[in-house]
Amino acid sequence: MKEVIRLKEVWKIYSRGEENQVIALKDFNLSVKEGDFIAIMGPSGSGKSTGMNLIGSLDVPTKGNIYLGKHNISSLSESDLAEVRGRKIGFIFQQFNLIPNLTARENIMLPMIFQDTELWEREEKADELLKLVELGDRAEHYPNQLSGGQQQRVAIARSLSNNPDVILADEPTGNLDTYTGEVVMKFLNNLNEQGKTIILVTHDPDLAMKHTRKIYWIKDGEIEKITEKVRGKWKNIRKKK
């Protein structure tokens, strides 16, 4: 399988004054191949959000290299990073992040505007995606007219609008009840079965172990271990020395 994302010996250090530095991520190595469904797992403050920002081209590392395909994006400018992530990565957030004064269709169309997609194509693609997430009859509804689960499904559709290589889902069930969360995860599983690469960022080990095939366990900014599902059973493939 083709490698779509690789982080190699990545560090993220935040400076708070001349002598006060916070190491958010330390010597972080990660490889994501086409069609993977992986999880980045860790408690609050573990560094998983920092890892997500780096994987998603929302930030650049202090040290180390990040490859998107064959291209090293570690030192790109913010404008270049924005262009890369707009084409290559689709985001799903815990808070949905839908624009309240835009309809479901318009929210899905929005990322395509920044890729200079023609209006007719944006509308056609948005309607196709609404049907995919079983919300074809909610195209003209605004976010406050939708349930939490419906809003998250609109967010899933929006993440697919530019046909990205990777879907990055940050706690996508965090604001949903158990049943609705399972519905959302079913959609992500279906997308993965259709060939989409999914990266799930979560603090919930049950969610990660039920739906993904590889887990990067993070603690204090470092990868503590990596586990992989092999023939239905979880096995350690790397532990911190």
46-95 pLDDT, tens digit each: 999 899 999 998 888 999 999 988 888 888 888 888 888 888 899 998 88
User: Is 65 a domain residue?
Assistant: no
Q: Assign residue 202 the CATH number of its domain.
A: 3.40.50.300
* Per-residue confidence band for 99, with pLDDT thresholds at 50, 70 and 90: very high
User: Is 48 a domain residue?
Assistant: yes
The answer to whether the CB of 32 falls within 8 A of the CB of 6 is yes
Alpha-carbon distance of 66 to 10, in angstroms, equals 8
User: Is 127 a domain residue?
Assistant: yes
Secondary structure percentages of the chain, helix, strand, coil, to 5:
35, 30, 35
Number of structural domains found in the chain:
1
Q: 148: domain range? A: 36-59+76-239
User: Is 128 a domain residue?
Assistant: yes
**What is the pLDDT at residue 82?**
82
Cβ atoms < 10 Å from Cβ of 143: 19
User: Is 197 a domain residue?
Assistant: yes
**What is the pLDDT at residue 120?**
95
pTM score, whole prediction: 0.91
User: Is 154 a domain residue?
Assistant: yes
Question: Is residue 17 predicted with pLDDT exceeding 90?
Answer: no
Alpha-carbon distance of 40 to 212, in angstroms, equals 10
Q: For the chain, what is the mean pLDDT? A: 91
* Per-residue confidence band for 155, with pLDDT thresholds at 50, 70 and 90: very high
Question: Is residue 238 predicted with pLDDT exceeding 80?
Answer: no
Strand order of the sheet with strand 71-72?
A: 21-33, 3-15, 63-68, 71-72
Residue in the structure block whose two tokens are 């009859």: 137
User: Is 12 a domain residue?
Assistant: no
* Per-residue confidence band for 241, with pLDDT thresholds at 50, 70 and 90: low
Structure tokens at 75: 């030192």
What is the share, in percent, of the chain residues with pLDDT greater than 90? Answer: 69
User: Is 20 a domain residue?
Assistant: no
**What is the pLDDT at residue 217?**
95
